Amino acid sequence: MSEKVRCLIIGSGPAGFTAAIYASRANLAPVLYEGIQPGGQLTTTTDVENFPGYPEGVTGTELMEDLKKQAVRFGAEIRNGIATSVDFSVSPKKVIIDGEKEIEADTVIISTGATAKYLGLPDETKYAGMGVSACATCDGFFYRKKVVAVVGGGDTACEEAIYLAGLASKVYLIVRKPFLRASKVMQNRVFAHEKIEVLFECNAVGLFGENGVEGANIVKHAGQANEEKFDLAIDGFFLAIGHTPNTKIFEGQIDMDETGYIKTQAMSTKTNIPGVFAAGDVADPVYRQGITAAASGCKAAIDVERYLNETECSL
């Protein structure tokens, strides 16, 4: 037997919880399923200092708990569970939770986020929040006048390196290929920056340190006759090898770009399916910040309210 709701929010994090706050205040009785990572990516971050309203900073977990409590205060129903399949070809939309429970929803807000790509080293997990980061904009401030390394060779990696160079005393750009994939403009900026040193044909194979990252184990010319191993002294290790939007269950159901990010219309959170909206990193390959995700969650809830008013008035 299925359950009927007016507004279903798939995924938590700043986008999902903010959408729940606004939807609740609009008397839409939203139901939110937290997904595979309740609270989203920020729960893996130790200190958050760039989210408005927290002048002394806050841990990512505390921030998400505050947003969750605020949503619950206004009447949002927050549930544990993972959306495992959807059918957006019908109205109301059908969403299956944990492979068994069916939800029929007049509107759906997708806020499943995106997952940063890592190298897959055990040390990345060991030092998570202790020197390993996948967001220079989020965590670069903690490495002022320190030495850091950025892994990657594309535009994102170059942008991260340049951003960090404005804070750190030294930035190593670790590139596994003998060239940068970034645009020529970004390459020129990197090569011209006195604080950035590019390490071509190098792979980070491990990290070390007592109470946090103190260095990286590097292999240069891996598998070749002139293979060389050395340790690189650093205080921070930043991954800039891309993100994967959490959109697999929506494939074939909704329009996405070539990398899997959900396409939204103009300045709204509307997708190509009436009644389905997308908020946060799942539809944002550019900014990927907690505050921009929260803002899009607000927009999604307002878009839902207007959609419901329009469709219900037309009946």
- Place domain 3-115+243-313 in its CATH homologous superfamily: FAD/NAD(P)-binding domain (3.50.50.60)
Range list for CATH 3.50.50.60 in the chain:
3-115+243-313, 118-239
pLDDT band, residue 25 (cuts 50/70/90)? very high
Average pLDDT on 15-24 reads 98
Catalytic residue among 7, 106, 123, 135: 135
* For residues 110-127, average pLDDT: 93
Q: Of these residues, 106, 139, 235, 303, which one is catalytic? A: 139
Instruction: Determine which one of 7, 138, 158, 202 is catalytic.
Output: 138
Dihedral over Cα of 300, 301, 304, 309: its sign: negative
For residues 269 and 300, the answer to whether their CB atoms sit within 8 Å is yes
The predicted pLDDT at position 59 comes to: 87
Q: What is the pTM of this model?
A: 0.80
Q: Which fold has domain 118-239?
A: FAD/NAD(P)-binding domain (3.50.50)
Asked about 135 being catalytic, the answer comes back as: yes
The single-letter code of the amino acid at 105 is: A
Residue 281 falls in the annotated catalytic set: no
Q: Is 164 helix (H, G, I), strand (E, B) or coil?
A: helix
Give yes or no: 138 in active site. yes
Are the CB atoms for 172 and 232 separated by under 8 Å? yes
Q: Rounded mean pLDDT of 250-273?
A: 96
Contacts 24+ apart (CB under 8 A), 36-40: 36/82, 36/246, 37/12, 37/113, 38/12, 38/64, 38/80, 39/12, 39/13, 39/64, 39/65, 39/68, 40/11, 40/12, 40/13, 40/14, 40/15, 40/16, 40/64, 40/113, 40/280, 40/293
pLDDT tens digits along 286-313: 888 899 999 999 999 999 999 999 987 6
Question: What percentage of the chain carries pLDDT values higher than 90?
Answer: 84
Arithmetic mean of pLDDT, 135-144: 90
| pLDDT tens-digit series, residues 224-246 | 999 999 999 999 999 999 889 99
